[in-house]
Amino acid sequence: MKRRLAIIAGAGPGMGLAIARRFARGGFDVALIARDAGRLAESAAEFEGLGARASVHAADLSDLAAAEGAIHAIRAARGPAAVLAYNGGAWNQGAPLSMTAEAFHRDLGLCVSGAYACTRAVHADMAAGGGTVLFTGGGLALAPGAGVGVASLVAGKSGLRGLALVLHEELKPQGIHVGLVTIAGVVAPGTAFDPDRIAKAYWDMHIAPRGAWTAETVFRGA
C-alpha cells in the first residue's frame, strides 16, 4: 500500500524532526523543508530505518514565494500531501523596540504569513481529498506579558493562533482539519517538554475522528 505524504515545513533539529519521526512511525513518507538543506540531508537518513522515504527541500519560509515554491515542487515530485505541519518561528531577544521594523516584519512573516502561504499551497488537494494542517503555537500567545524581550515571537504566535482558529472553522466543512499545538513551555530533550513527547500531540490531532476535531491542543508537559 502506498504511504501517505506529510510535509514538515520548518524541519529543524527539535520539534520539526520530532514531528516528522512521529508521522513516519505512523506510516507516512515525509518531505522536509528548511533553510539549510545540507544539514537536513544528514538528518533524513534516519527515516530509512523507520521504513519511510524522506526528501529535503531548501526554502526560507519567511520568503513567501520560496515557501509556496517548495510545496509545489514537492507535489510535482511526490504527489499531494495528506498532512502539512508548519513549524516556523524565530526567537530574537532584545529590549522593546530594539529590533528594526524590517526584522520584526520578517519574524512576523515567518510565524504567520509563511503558514498562510503553505496552507494555500496544499489547500486544493486537501479540499479534494481531505487532509490535516497543523501549526506549532506558543504559550506566549496565551500569556503575552511573559514575553517581554521577545516581542516579535509574541506577536507572531498570537497572530498564528488567530489564523489557526479561523481556518479551523472555515476549512472543517471541506474535510480539512486545521489544528494548533500550543506549547506552553520551553522545548528541551529529556524534560517534560521533550520534542518527541510533544510530537504525539500532533499525531493525536491528526488521527482524531471528524466528530472530535479540535482547533487547539495546549501541551503543558503532562
User: Domain coordinates of the chain in residue numbers?
Assistant: 4-219
pLDDT at 60 over 90: yes
Specify burial of residue 95 (Cβ count, 10 A radius: 0-12, 13-18, 19+).
Answer: exposed
Task: Write b or e for each residue in 26-41: b if 16 or more Cβ atoms lie within 10 A of its Cβ, otherwise e.
Answer: bebbbbbbbbebeebe
In whole angstroms, give the CA distance from residue 129 to residue 122: 11
SS percent in the chain: helix, strand, coil, step 5: 50, 20, 30
- Cα angle 5-9-10, degrees, rounded to a multiple of 5: 140
pLDDT above 90 coverage of the chain, percent: 83
The SS3 of residue 214 is: coil
pLDDT at 1 over 60: no
Q: What is the mean pLDDT of the chain?
A: 94
pLDDT at 72 over 70: yes
In whole angstroms, give the CA distance from residue 60 to residue 67: 7
Provide the phi-psi class of 36: left if phi over 0, else alpha when psi is between -120 and 50, else beta.
beta
The SS3 of residue 197 is: helix
Highest mean pLDDT among 45-49, 138-142, 167-171: 167-171
Q: Give per-residue pLDDT as tens, 7-55.
A: 999 998 899 999 999 999 999 999 999 988 777 777 777 898 889 999 9
pLDDT at 203 over 60: yes
In whole angstroms, give the CA distance from residue 111 to residue 89: 5
Q: How far apart are the first and last CA of the chain?
A: 35
Contact call for residues 170 and 207 (beta carbons, < 8 A): no
**Position of cell 529543524?**
12
Class of domain 4-219: alpha beta
Q: Give per-residue pLDDT as tens, 94-130.
A: 887 899 999 999 999 999 999 999 999 999 999 999 9
Q: Which three cell numbers stand for residue 52?
A: 519511510
Residues recorded for the chain: 222
In whole angstroms, give the CA distance from residue 127 to residue 134: 15
